[in-house]
Structure 1
Amino acid sequence: MQSYNKDDTKEEYVRVLDYLPYGHPSDTRPVYQKRPVIQAIGEEHLSLLEIVPKKGKKADPYDRLYVGRGLRDVADYVKRRISYDDLTNAAKMELLNVIEEIVKDNEGRFIEFFNKSDSITPRFHHLEIIPGIGKKLMWKIIEERNKSPFTSFKDIEARVTTLYHPEKLIARRIEEEIREDNIKYRTFVKPFVKQTEFKKS
């Protein structure tokens, strides 16, 4: 499982979930005081973020935005990290599909999970946190990776013929870790801790 430190919410790139031209509905300030916000998920740490765009800029779901240090095209600054409950209904509807896109675009990173995961307890293997993977599939995955490491999601499907769309299963687990505060054996997403807004940078 991952270990976390205070810098683990820093993201370089995000994928857009929703664009709110009049700010978040929970913001009770007068409309003239509000700025548009973007709800997005980070590619590296899978943190949910609220981003203030530059004046005159907007974003659409699935857009990839740079939010790291230096020149940014769309993002003005990252306002804060948010929880699943802070997402709009539209963002929640897009979340799983956007996560799946991130997983597919970072295939090697998630293939490592299938190749290197180990037992968590004497009776429970790390592979079993993935929805749809029980003991039988777990042992088949271990048997195949012991022959040679997996190289892609297609390679996993070809060699473990009863495991379909492993990228979708990984995405479902990530969504669960984002959605559920008290999930056991958290692996991919740092637990959400409510915080004050980030300083503009």
Structure 2
Amino acid sequence: MSTDGSDSDPGRAVILDHLPHGRSEDDRPQYQKQPLAYAVTTENFRLVELTLLADASLSIGDRISIETDMIDVMRDVEYEDLSGGAQSELDYAIEEVIEDNEQRFVDFFNDAQPITTRLHALNLLPGIGKKLRNTILDERKRKPFESFAELADRVGGLHNPQEVLADRIMDEIREEDLKYRTFARREE
């Protein structure tokens, strides 16, 4: 299992749940079931189901390359298709990806642009209205943000930017019919 490289590499994922004996609703005999894992990719937050080779050894929270030879089949899944354990781990995995890739997400605040004449990408984040958006835009003109701590210090009212981002990413993962997606891309 590969554990080196950047989390923003499109070929990396975080394991959300590992089912060494396959799905419980699978009625086939145990010896016919392949082990499964559910994961979220670190680059675009795609949810995937991994059919593993019999000798694969994984734990919840492991970061893996999805190019690894322990994966037999990988397929995209929806939030509702995840196991209960994977759904409950997803928040934690997203928070860790954000924390481990702080500059990538701070740069979102530095680089976000208008989507339409009436809507700015910053307004997609929960709790960011016109006033807070304008404060962020004014502050980043003076000097780009270098960290979440600096962002929170310089923009009054934005107390936990990581949590705001995590909430938006969860919305993008859960909601099928969102008009705008910034972080969680769906495969077409």
Q: TM-score range by the shorter chain?
A: 0.7 to 0.9
- Match of residue 122 from structure 1: 117
- Match of residue 174 from structure 1: 169
What is the deviation of 1:192?
5.0
Alpha-carbon distance between aligned partners in 1 of 2:172 and 2:25, rounded to the nearest angstrom = 24
Q: Specify whether residues 26 and 182 from structure 1 end up closer, same or farther in structure 2 by C-alpha distance, changes over 3 A only.
A: farther
Of the three residues 142, 166, 171, the one matched with 1:147 is: 142
SS at match of 1:91: helix
Q: Which amino acid aligns with 1:21?
A: P
Mapping of residues 152-167 of structure 1, within 5 Å: 152-167=147-162
CA shift digits 1:90-120 (9 cap, x unpaired): 1111111111101111112112211111122
Alpha-carbon distance between aligned partners in 1 of 2:98 and 2:92, rounded to the nearest angstrom = 10
Of the three residues 120, 124, 127, the one matched with 1:132 is: 127
Alpha-carbon distance between aligned partners in 1 of 2:29 and 2:21, rounded to the nearest angstrom = 10
Q: Is the 8 A contact 1:49 1:78 kept in 2?
A: no
1:82 paired to 2:93: no
- Match of residue 5 from structure 1: none
What is the deviation of 1:28?
4.4
Q: Which amino acid aligns with 2:89?
A: E
CA shift digits 1:55-113 (9 cap, x unpaired): 33332221111222xxx37x333421111111011111111111110111111211221
Of the three residues 88, 91, 96, the one matched with 1:101 is: 96
SS at match of 1:114: helix
Q: Is the 8 A contact 2:46 2:186 kept in 1?
A: no
Q: Which amino acid aligns with 1:56?
A: D
The TM-score, its normalising length taken from structure 1, stands at 0.82
SS at match of 2:15: strand
Q: Which amino acid aligns with 1:166?
A: P
1:52 paired to 2:47: no
Unaligned 5+ segments in structure 1 are 1-9, 194-201
CA shift digits 1:148-190 (9 cap, x unpaired): 1111111101111321221111111111111110012111122
Alpha-carbon distance between aligned partners in 1 of 2:180 and 2:170, rounded to the nearest angstrom = 14
The number of residue pairs the alignment matches comes to 180
Q: Is the 8 A contact 1:45 1:188 kept in 2?
A: yes
Percent sequence identity over aligned pairs:
41
Runs of 4+ in 1 over 6 A off after TM superposition: none
SS at match of 1:52: strand
Unaligned 5+ segments in structure 2 are 1-8
Q: Is the 8 A contact 2:10 2:41 kept in 1?
A: yes
